[in-house]
Amino acid sequence: MVQRIRTFISGLAAITGLLAWIAAGIIAGHTTFYWTRVEKAEGIVTALTEIPCSILRDERCFDPEVVFVTADRGPITFKASDAGRVIAIEEQSSALTLTLGQSVAVLYDSKQPTRARLASSALLWGLPSKLLLLGAILVLIGFLFRPGRPLAELGILRDRFGR
């Protein structure tokens, strides 16, 4: 019975970890493709609309409104959520702190400038990096719980690295 449970945990963790790596690769590829085909501009934060955060968080989150100027169309106003998804910007976040009147880097497609995005490495690369880390942890769990690995070895690891 213990072997079946270990086999199930090992297989599930390894498969989920590999799927997380594949998803991270797809998202990173899409981000890289987007990054190479867009224009860059400087924008100014003109409004911060408070939006609800996750139910689990007790923090204030904001959806920034940014104005930037393109070479051929003049001033463009966009909200971070106009790119197809709501991007919550936490006021106290170490990754990205926005204030009214702040200058920010903007990435935009010249064909659809209103679907611009903030050029923040945390917003562009945060999800792929988290998926890579999660996948690595799950593959490690799959390796440690694989069938045939004596539980005594896991006890040695527990003694060596603490409880």
Q: What is the per-residue pLDDT for 99?
A: 77
Q: Take residue 142 and report the two structure tokens written for it.
A: 């799959």
CB 106 within 8 Å of CB 42: yes
CATH 2.40.50 correct for 38-119: yes
Query: How many Å apart are CA 3 and CA 81, to the nearest integer?
Result: 48
Q: List the domain boundaries for the chain.
A: 2-31+127-161, 38-119
Q: What is the mean pLDDT of residues 33-43?
A: 81
Mean pLDDT of the chain: 76
Q: What is the per-residue pLDDT for 19?
A: 93
Q: How far is CA 93 from CA 88, 97, 111, 123, in A?
A: 10, 6, 32, 12
Amino acid at 87: I
DSSP string spanning 42-61?
Answer: EEEEEEEEEE---TT--S-E
Each residue of 51-100: pLDDT tens digit? 766 666 566 667 788 899 887 777 888 886 655 444 455 444 444 567 78
CB 39 within 8 Å of CB 107: yes
Which residues contact residue 147 at a Cβ distance below 8 angstroms, ignoring those fewer than 6 apart?
3, 6, 7, 10
Range with lowest mean pLDDT among 28-37, 40-49, 68-77, 79-88: 79-88
Higher pLDDT, residue 36 or 130: 130
Q: What is the mean pLDDT of residues 96-109?
A: 80
Q: What is the per-residue pLDDT for 66?
A: 87
| DSSP H/E element including 71 | none
Residue 144 pLDDT > 90, yes or no? no
Higher pLDDT, residue 123 or 87: 123
Angle between helices 121-144 and 2-36 (to 10 degrees): 160
Q: What is the per-residue pLDDT for 30?
A: 81
Residue 103 pLDDT > 80, yes or no? yes
Q: What is the per-residue pLDDT for 82?
A: 55
Question: What's the predicted TM-score (pTM) here?
Answer: 0.56
When computed from its CA atoms, the radius of gyration of the chain, rounded to whole angstroms, is: 22
